[in-house]
Chain A
Amino acid sequence: MATPEIAIAAPDQLEGIKDSYEYGFHDSETDYAFKAKKGLSRQVVEDISSHKDEPQWMRDFRLKALEHFEARPMPKWAGGHMDGIDFQNIHYFVRASEKQGRTWDEVPDDIKNTFDKLGIPEAERKFLAGVGAQYESEVVYHQIREDLEKQGVIFKDMDTGLREHEDLVREYFSTVIPANDNKLAALNSAVWSGGSFVYVPPGVHVEMPLQAYFRINTENMGQFERTLIIADEGSFVHYIEGCTAPTYTTDSLHSAVVEIICKPGSRVRYTTIQNWSHNVYNLVTKRAVAYEGATMEWIDGNLGSKLTMKYPSIYLMGERAHGEILSIAFAGKGQHQDAGGKCVHIAPNTTSTITSKSISKDGGRASYRGLLEVAPGATGSKSKVVCDALLLDEESRSDTYPTIRIGEDDVDVGHEATVSKIGEEQLFYLMSRGLSEEEASGMIVGGFIEPFTRELPMEYAVEMNRLIELQMEGSIG
């Protein structure tokens, strides 16, 4: 994400929420192609399927998923944090544009201007192998470099992926995250729209990242993208997603499902920089399977949203598979970042690392929730879990909910957790070098999350540091 040049926000909408969120502007909706009425019903699900002209099996899948959603209670372990969501006060499908652009000039002006402000076309020109831009429920722009297309790489929005590669989608869709996995996955399965479909053929390395950018514009919007990534044997791909939304006084819901299949010897890196406005519930299910010798990496940054509940997971199915989860969460005023990760060792000699870093300030709450499981027979498995929390003031809160289940004797598992504050000595040292207290605190926080930023491509690391600086503004005095 490059730096946007203009940020427009209605002051009355921002009051009491946050003053440093710069993506809170919104566009007019007068030229929209279709906007469903608020509320969820069988008719809404059938309408979405009809609008997309889907095969019957997908329609049946959606309707069955709706039954699952309606039958399931809200998860008790969530402690009531999701109770504020009114599922009947949400627009489940909004089509902003009739057709998808292959060039930015084909994208309607209002929408193109938004993505210009967010710097997406510029980023595509400079350092991306492909870009998908989702605005409301559907992808309005999609492009991949020709040379990758010639090598057989597929990078489409999920709706197009289903139309053009139905057999491949049907083989893998919902095999990693079934519709009935949890209440929010059931909701996504019923009303999904947009997201990415990626297939990388055997041995192909996509050296530059593919990026998807998600933008909510409508008030009380629900965005339910669905992403499926299949990395065939010995391939590599790095997928990056970013997201923003306008700041409204009422809430929106983002509930994605992301499924990843890492075939033997492949490597997938999935990077998220989540920067939703502070009126968005962000409830996402992300899961990957890694077969023999494959590597899966979740690099997960959570800065925005009102409430995030997201625990990317990796099932290490084949011998010597490796999983890596690096999660950072920044919880400011009125925010609750409930993040973490899960690694399940199923095959022998599998390895994993979960690193969680959280920062809480101005009364924000950050929670680490994670699972490390070693199945019987997964001998020689190794795993390390590290959770570090930084509390910037007395009002803020940090919680850790680690679960470790070990079903095998011959394993090497470690768990470390720390909670700390910014030390007076650290501040004094930096301030004695001429930094203000705010600059010194920012530098200490930047150092704290350095394990995360160093994993990002340079352009994103710069943007990430800038976002952290914005979050830190006004944190002193």
Chain B
Amino acid sequence: MTETTTTIDVCPAGELPAGASRIVEAGERKIGVFNCDGALHAIEDRCSHDDGPLAEGPFDPSTCTVECPRHGSLFDLRTGRPRTLPAYLPVETFPVHVVDGTIKLEVP
């Protein structure tokens, strides 16, 4: 069985420079897209600790992490894994790349 994915246009690459982030809607869920000093990463906008929002938290491009605004867990944007408690389960990550100057997100 092959998994079908949907491709979502996030924005022109120039609108998400290094150190910037934005939240996009993909059906019923939200996904945070981050530019860590040139490398693009996308994770679900949901903290695995209590299902609250995640991607709007403080983003540190130098360590490629985002901090949950509710209880402070630090998530690695490359892997979706929490680096600090109280969250201990990883969150979902998504492929993201630039095609013809547009940032595109692959969502299952």
Question: Which A residues are within 8 Å of any B CB, using their own CB?
Answer: 68, 174-182, 287, 289, 315, 317, 344, 346, 375-376
Contact = CB atoms under 8 A, between A and B. Distances in A.
A177 B89 CA distance: 16
B61 interface: no
B89 A178 contact: no
A375 B89 contact: yes
Interface of B: 67-74, 83-86, 88-89
B90 to A, nearest CB: 12
Contact of A181 (B71, B83, B88): B71
13 contacts: A174-B84, A175-B83, A175-B84, A175-B85, A177-B85, A178-B72, A178-B86, A180-B69, A289-B85, A315-B85, A315-B88, A375-B88, A375-B89
A180 B85 contact: no
B20 to A, nearest CB: 20
Contacts of B73: 178
Nearest to A64: B58
Contacts, number: 38
Contacts of A178: 67, 71-74, 84-86
B63 to A, nearest CB: 12
A344 B83 CA distance: 17
A237 B16 CA distance: 50
A182 B88 contact: no
Contacts of A289: 85
Given A174-B84, A175-B84, A180 B89 contact: no
Given A175-B83, A179-B72, 4 more contacts: A174-B84, A178-B72, A181-B85, A344-B88
B72 A68 contact: yes
Contacts of A179: 72
A287 B85 contact: yes
A333 B73 CA distance: 39
Contact of A180 (B67, B83, B88): B67
A473 to B, nearest CB: 41
Contacts of B83: 175
A174 B74 CA distance: 11
With a 10 A CB-CB cut-off, give which of B70, B72, B74, B88 has the most chain A CB atoms. Answer: B72
A335 B99 CA distance: 65
B89 A181 contact: no
Nearest to A317: B88
Contacts of A176: 84-85
A180 B57 CA distance: 11
A289 B71 CA distance: 17
Nearest to A179: B72
A376 B90 CA distance: 12
A67 B88 CA distance: 25
Nearest to B74: A178
